Amino acid sequence: MTILVTGGAGYIGSHCVRQLIAAGQKVCVIDNLSRGHREAVPPQASFFQIDLLDTEQLTDIMKSQRIEKVIHFAALAYVGESVENPLPYYSNNTAGTISLLRAMRQSRVSQIVFSSSCATYGIPASIPVTEDSPQTPINPYGWSKLFIEQMLIDCAHSYPNFGFIGLRYFNVAGCTHDGALGEDHNPETHLIPNCLKTALGQQSQMTILGNDYPTADGTCIRDYIHVDDICAAHLLALDALTPEAQRFYNIGLGHGYSVLEVIKTAERVTGCEIPIEYHPRRPGDPPVLAASNEKISRELGWSPRYTSLEEIIRSAWNWFQTHPHGYEHKTGSHTGNEPKDHS
Catalytic residue among 121, 141, 169, 306: 141
Question: What span, in angstroms and rounded, lies between the C-alpha atoms of 327 and 325?
Answer: 7
Bridge-based pairing of strands 111-117 and 163-169 is parallel
**Amino acid symbol at 3:** I
State yes or no: cis peptide before 128, omega within 30 of 0. yes
163 by Cβ neighbours in 10 Å (0-12 / 13-18 / 19+) ranks as buried
Q: How many CB atoms lie within 10 A of CB 64?
A: 12
String of DSSP letters for 162-206: -EEEEEEE-EEE---TTSSS----SS---HHHHHHHHHTTSSS-E
Q: Between the CA of residue 149 and those of 97, 127, 143, 183, 247, what are the distances in Å?
A: 10, 22, 10, 26, 10
Q: How many CB atoms lie within 10 A of CB 13?
A: 27
159 in catalytic set: no
Helices 259-270 & 309-322, crossing angle to 10 degrees? 60
Q: Which residues are catalytic?
A: 141
